[in-house]
Amino acid sequence: MKRLALLTSGGDAPGMNAAIRAIVLASHYFDVQPLGYRHGFNGLLEQEYRHLDTEDVYNIIQRGGTILKSARCQPFTTQEGAQLAARNLNEAKVDGLIIIGGDGSFRGAEHLSRYWQGNIIGLPGTIDNDINGTDATIGYYTAIDTALESIDKVRDTADAFERIFLIEVMGRHAGFIGLSAGVCSGAEQVLLPELYPDGLPDPQELADHIRRAQKIRGKCSYIMVMSENIWPGGATDLANELQTRTGIECRPVILGHVQRGGSPVSLDRMLASKLGAYAVEAMIAGKSGIMIGERNQQLVEVPLQQSWNKSKLLDPYLVKIQRQVFDLVKNGNNY
């Protein structure tokens, strides 16, 4: 292994820079030359790369975003796109490629492997945490804290005015951020896609719960954390629906891309540093077609396809205790 390349793809996540740093430092340590491709898979098509020196990654461990930039790349998904990428990688004399991203990026990696003979390793980098085979993805812990900080602030004003707020968090089609932020913020209700596999939540049940809370406690604040994509029209439309059904003002807050930014928390920096360094060692050992993850504090090698063809489960105990909070109110308990 003389030359390895790396790129970041899909939604950026805090800690991607820490992973880039770890890869570059480990590469230099083991005398391998690292190349950084910019703008995700687009960089492979456009030959947009440069050699990365240790000084390029100085002072980036604490920075959100990605110094390599990120993108989603439609042309790459075609056969011609992957063939062009393969030719370009060969021309640049790349022996192995490390892709930091989510499941879409890993599917891209698999697609490329049909046309390129070099080694390919994936690192899970997404705030959504929806990658099977690793306890956490790079960026997930920071996104929880970012969402939580905002929800706590909304609670302050909700409490002052005794208002109802519906707070929409990211996660694409997974409820990891929603569940963690909901439990940690003491939300009265949490709506997650995994809890409604066959359809939508029942709006009357949601409305009844709000009215019940206000009946027991008197006028009070009420926080509902909801995952994006769980209700058509999102938090705005559900807030309108619940306002109509309860006769009580319901306000939507959509946290949006703020959850993708910010300085990574220590857990994300540690995870990224370990996965990045290990990916280089795995490359040198000739490994390919795998994702590096971490389970129970052990670094693991997972076949790339397993990262997306099996759904990752929410923590059942967190789901249970959140449900208990909901039920306490439902059963008339002024907790």
Residues 217, 71: Cα–Cα separation, whole Å: 48
User: Can you tell me the distance from the alpha carbon of 250 to that of 266, in angstroms, rounded to the nearest whole number?
Assistant: 36
Smaller CB distance to ligand F6P: residue 52 or 170?
170
Residues 6+ apart with CB under 8 A from 106: 99, 122, 131, 291, 304, 307, 308
Whose Cβ is closer to ligand F6P: residue 73's or residue 84's?
A: 73
Query: Is 208 tagged catalytic?
Result: no
- Which residue, chain included where needed, has tokens 């491709």? 37
Taking the C-alpha atoms of residue 314 and residue 216, their distance in angstroms, rounded to an integer, is: 31
Catalytic, out of 12, 103, 128, 145: 128
Distance CA 323, CA 205 (A): 14
The helix/strand/coil state of 96 is: strand
Using an 8 Å Cβ cutoff, are 229 and 163 in contact?
no
Separation of alpha carbons 241 and 234, rounded Å: 11
Task: Name the residues that contact ligand F6P, by CB under 6 A.
Answer: 11, 102, 126-128, 170-172, 228, 260
Q: Which residue has the closest beta carbon to ligand F6P?
A: 11
CB of 55 to ligand F6P, least distance (A): 30
CB of 228 to ligand F6P, least distance (A): 6
Which residues carry out catalysis? 128
